[in-house]
Structure 1
Amino acid sequence: MITKPIIPLFIVIPLLIIILIIYIFNLVKKEDRYLYKILGVLRITVILVLAFLVNLRIMEKKYNATIEMKNLDVLFVVDTTISMWAEDYNNKDPRMEGVLADTEYIIDELSGSNFGLIRFDNRGQILAPFTQDQETVKDAFSTIKMPDRYYAKGSSLNNCYDDLKTLLDSSNKKTERMTVLFFISDGEITDGSTLRSFKELEPLIDTGAVLGYGTENGGKMKDTYGGYIKDSSTGKDALSILDENNLKKVASDMDIEYIHMKSTANVKYMVESIKNGSSLTLEKADSVSYEDTYYVYAAILLAFLVLEVVLFIRRGRL
């Protein structure tokens, strides 16, 4: 059994205690029979406890649950250089906010697939090897943070290559599975290197897309200290500019589409195409899944609230 509170407990608990105190204080001041006061306190206590349990969102373990399985290995490769926090997604938001929203949409839509995650800046790193546990992959995405500007050493799309090939090789060892790649970047190369060829990886990929984030006008970048990063040559705010030529070259090498991402809607047709081309099976899972139980407490809570309304109508007060 686990819990996943809807509202943080440090907010809910004091709030419920305050409500109980106010209710009891008002009840004590009323001229009413002692028994009615006791019953009133008991009812409000039960209601508040039930509200607490609903918010607590208790989830029970389920073993060997029947789950949907798609024949897809979906690999995300995400550029996590500081330029991916440039503020030009939807013309105002950090690019990485768009990345996190768009990848969550893809994961949810392709539920039942195996997912993997690679990040890269001045080096590559496998954050999640292929797994069907969506929460594990989402948790891996949540660990992505803006790098310190003093840590940043320039960026290159080449830095993910070795890890990318490793996971693509792993996927291709499986039979009757489609390998899907989403390569996510703004295309900037700032370490002076030349973009290498990704052509060797093309036979390992069935479908997917290079997702480009950024604009031709560029976006300013806040650093981890709150200010905007300056261009050392001009003293003005530095701009990160989308390099579509690099991204289109990577997409062409791997024979997948290039999509300029302005909103989640830009990738929906691709996701639908992948879903339509996949097969679905129902299997018994050896892993543990969790089932919500809050609705049980919510039903009882609703019954008590209805009772309070009835008493209010009949007696003219709570």
Structure 2
Amino acid sequence: MSWHPVIPWPLVVLAGLLLLGFTGWRVVADSRHRVRWILRLVTSLLMVVALLGPAVDGAIARQAASNVNVFFVVDTTTSSMARDHEEGRTRLEGYREDIAAIQEQMPGARFSIITFDYTARVVMPLTTDTQALKTATENLRAEDSQYSGGSSVTVAQDRLKLTLEGAKERQPEHSRVVFYLGDGEQTSSDQPAPFALDGLVDGGAVLGYGTEAGGRMAKTNADGSTGEDVTDASGNPGVSKIDEEQLGSIADQLGVPYVHRAGGDISPALEEADPGTTVEGAGASIETYTSLVWIFAVLMSALLLVDLFVTTREIGRLRRVDP
């Protein structure tokens, strides 16, 4: 239950004190017409409650984010096939699920997907076409594992920077929100080059997937099919583990928060990322509610009709007895 006053609440309080005080006094003072004044007292009470705007709280919704460009940077290395996401699913399934959930929470935004493994590529340019985003997300595939030779967690730096610069040049009034989805596992022997995107990222988050215990990975083929689990040179099962320290470092470089994801509602992650504050009013959370004013208005109208009937009847009686 919440309250949304129809007029400023101090005026409601003042009107309520005057009406309820007067009608209450008349109930006590006028015993001859007490029923009529009781009706008016109840009517006054209903009117005060109606003016206070009672309502039943609804869901939290997001306003259209038409001036927001969202860039998903998605890890498609073999480690994305590690089965340590929610209920033993792969991390890649978690990526797909969260991208779809973020799109639902940011209606009207433009979306783009950049994937990275041994190199980075734009698999979907900026678009408001939600069906195109859905198709591109469903078609996300891990790299062909037989050609996997190690990768860097920041290999998408140059591609992302070029894409963000282009978006800023074309639409400088639009905010640029980046969601980095990965496990932070650096398999290249070189140290990852830091993201250098000063002034290009307005919001977003680094979303981390996987567990410290790690998960086994299935071999993947170019057509997206999978085979036996990955093994090391000794024939032991290959295990991929999340590197949250690395992910936290990437988040610091991008200037966004780090959020670990293990399935479930995406809203807490979005609240931490708070992409809606990057542009005033864009994607901001709003609380919906169902007003109950009409119920009190109907009851008040019914009592006024009863009061009118009683008053009319008394006037008619007075006329009959008048000589």
CA distance in 2, matches of 1:260, 1:202: 24
Q: How much does 1:176 deviate? A: 2.3
1:176 corresponds in structure 2 to 173
1:81 corresponds in structure 2 to 77
CA distance in 1, matches of 2:175, 2:129: 18
1:187-202 residue pairs with structure 2 within 5 A? Answer: 187-198=184-195, 200-202=196-198
Task: Decide which moves more: 132-141 or 117-126.
Answer: 132-141
Q: How much does 1:69 deviate? A: 5.6
Change (3 A) 1:270 1:171: farther
CA distance in 2, matches of 1:244, 1:147: 22
Question: Does the 8 A contact of 1:154 with 1:191 survive in 2?
Answer: yes
From 159, 163, 167, give the equivalent of 2:159: 163
SS in 1 for 2:161: helix
2:312 corresponds in structure 1 to none
Write the letter of the residue equivalent to 2:153: L
Q: How much does 1:114 deviate? A: 0.7
From 149, 154, 175, give the equivalent of 2:145: 149
2:228 corresponds in structure 1 to 227
Q: How much does 1:91 deviate? A: 5.1
1:30 corresponds in structure 2 to none
2:267 corresponds in structure 1 to 268
Name the Cα RMSD after superposition: 2.0
Question: Does the 8 A contact of 2:113 with 2:123 survive in 1?
Answer: yes
Write the letter of the residue equivalent to 1:141: T
Tell me the alpha carbon deviations over residues 193-233 of structure 1, each in whole angstroms, 9 at most, x when there is no partner: 211111x2132111110111111000001113531111224
Q: How much does 1:270 deviate? A: 4.0
2:111 corresponds in structure 1 to 115
CA distance in 2, matches of 1:280, 1:197: 29
Q: How much does 1:183 deviate? A: 0.6
CA distance in 1, matches of 2:76, 2:275: 26
CA distance in 1, matches of 2:107, 2:140: 22
1:41 corresponds in structure 2 to none
**1:213 is aligned to 2:204:** no
Tell me the alpha carbon deviations over residues 227-274 of structure 1, each in whole angstroms, 9 at most, x when there is no partner: 1111224x2211001011211111111110001111142x41343533
Which consecutive residues of structure 1, in runs of 5 or more, have no partner in the other structure? 1-67, 282-318
2:302 corresponds in structure 1 to none
Change (3 A) 1:163 1:236: same
Tell me the alpha carbon deviations over residues 128-148 of structure 1, each in whole angstroms, 9 at most, x when there is no partner: 111111111222222222322
Point out 4+ residue stretches in structure 1 off by more than 3 angstroms: 275-281
From 88, 92, 107, give the equivalent of 2:88: 92
Tell me the alpha carbon deviations over residues 69-121 of structure 1, each in whole angstroms, 9 at most, x when there is no partner: 62100000001001011000025110011110011000121120010110010
Percent sequence identity over aligned pairs: 34
CA distance in 2, matches of 1:212, 1:125: 20
Q: How much does 1:276 deviate? A: 6.0
CA distance in 2, matches of 1:270, 1:217: 23
1:58-73 residue pairs with structure 2 within 5 A? Answer: 70-73=66-69
Q: May I ask how many residue pairs the two structures share in their alignment?
A: 212
From 123, 127, 130, give the equivalent of 1:127: 123
CA distance in 1, matches of 2:129, 2:181: 21
Write the letter of the residue equivalent to 2:197: L
SS in 1 for 2:204: strand
**1:245 is aligned to 2:245:** yes
CA distance in 1, matches of 2:174, 2:269: 18
SS in 2 for 1:175: coil
Question: Does the 8 A contact of 1:215 with 1:242 survive in 2?
Answer: yes
Write the letter of the residue equivalent to 1:133: D
SS in 1 for 2:154: helix
Question: Does the 8 A contact of 1:82 with 1:152 survive in 2?
Answer: yes
User: TM-score under structure 1 normalisation?
Assistant: 0.63
Which consecutive residues of structure 2, in runs of 5 or more, have no partner in the other structure? 1-63, 221-225, 284-323
SS in 1 for 2:145: coil
Write the letter of the residue equivalent to 1:259: V
Q: How much does 1:280 deviate? A: 5.5
